[in-house]
Amino acid sequence: MNNDNLQMENQQAIQSLKEVALEGIKEQRAARRWKILFMLIFALIFFLMFTAIKTASSMKDTRFSMSDEYTALIEVKGVIMPDSAASAANIIPVLQEAFEDDKVKGIILQCNTPGGSPVQSSLIYDEIMRLRELHKDKPIYAVAEDLCASGGYFIVSAAEKIYANRSTLIGSIGVRMKSFGVVEVMKKIGIESREMTAGKYKALMDPFKPTTPEAEAHITKMLESTHEHFISAVKAGRGDRLKDNEDIFTGLFWTGKDAKELGVIDEFGSIESVARDVFKADTIVNFSPRKTLLDKLSQGVGTSIGSILLGEKIPQTVLY
């Protein structure tokens, strides 16, 4: 009986060892699979980065190997914000590159934006004015397409001429700050805000607290100051081409047809017609910044981390 028990225990031990060995083999196989998967992922990322760099390099080589002059195109598309494609950090370097390129006969700013940050718009505007002064023999014209409003118009008013389609929506020279209030709703359902602050106006524009006349007066003054900055920039850029009409600076916008009558734009035209008929250089080279896959991924991660760390949204002054 003891021998039978001993034999059974040995068999169980052997079986247990087999199971442990099999589990170890499975884990090794799984580890190898994960290792292979990660290697494939890194290889793919490397290939995409290499392809992007090679493409950008070949495009640049092609550009500089051209013997004839060409038109430089710079796109101002989407909302104008610090982390957007139309930010000053993205647009200013390509503006400088285009102005310094000896083969560029003229520069076209392609505008299709609802507007955005007054600071970003102003930075781009100021750089265009500076580059125009440095390179007086190189014209820069703007072409407004579907929409060129607020911050977009701020930028294009620095161009020597503005072209648009008859149906383009353009203008909206005004400023606003977005917010909301839920104080009355909170009262009805029995919720109160218990945020603690140091500084009388630190919680200015808090949607969970009522506003005060003093706070509203401060915000209004700030918006008016930004609006005056916008108006002065447009007047400096457009000069006496603007008609004497008070509606121009009220935030209204118009079709290209009406905008031409007000002096908000100069002529009707497209990117192709300006390059072909005005610059006499119908070869168009796009200088606009292009984001790689790595840029997009890192921006997404940065935005997510920033949102987590910040934990709050501050009301933004915007030109749209």
Tens-place pLDDT, residues 76-117? 999 999 999 999 999 999 999 999 999 999 999 999 999 999
Do 154 and 268 belong together in one domain? yes
Query: 111, 170 in Cβ contact below 8 A?
Result: no
Q: 218-229, pLDDT tens digit by residue?
A: 989 999 999 999
Using DSSP, state whether 154 is helix, strand or coil: helix
Domain count, the chain: 2
Give the pLDDT score at 302.
40
Do 42 and 182 belong together in one domain? no
Q: Which of 72, 160, 163 is nearest to 111 (CA)?
A: 163
9 — pLDDT class (breaks 50, 70, 90) = low
Do 11 and 83 belong together in one domain? no
Query: 319, 230 in Cβ contact below 8 A?
Result: yes
286 — pLDDT class (breaks 50, 70, 90) = very high
Do 136 and 251 belong together in one domain? yes
Do 54 and 80 belong together in one domain? no
Give the pLDDT score at 216.
87
Give the pLDDT score at 312.
42
Do 122 and 155 belong together in one domain? yes
Question: 43, 65, 87 — which closes off a domain?
Answer: 65
Do 158 and 102 belong together in one domain? yes
Give the pLDDT score at 238.
96
**254 is in which domain, residue-wise?**
66-318
CATH number for position 177 = 3.90.226.10
Query: 160, 142 in Cβ contact below 8 A?
Result: no
Residue 314 scores a pLDDT above 80 = no
The amino acid present at 199, given as its one-letter code, is G
- DSSP E strands: which ranges in 222-294? 253-255, 267-268, 284-286
Do 129 and 33 belong together in one domain? no
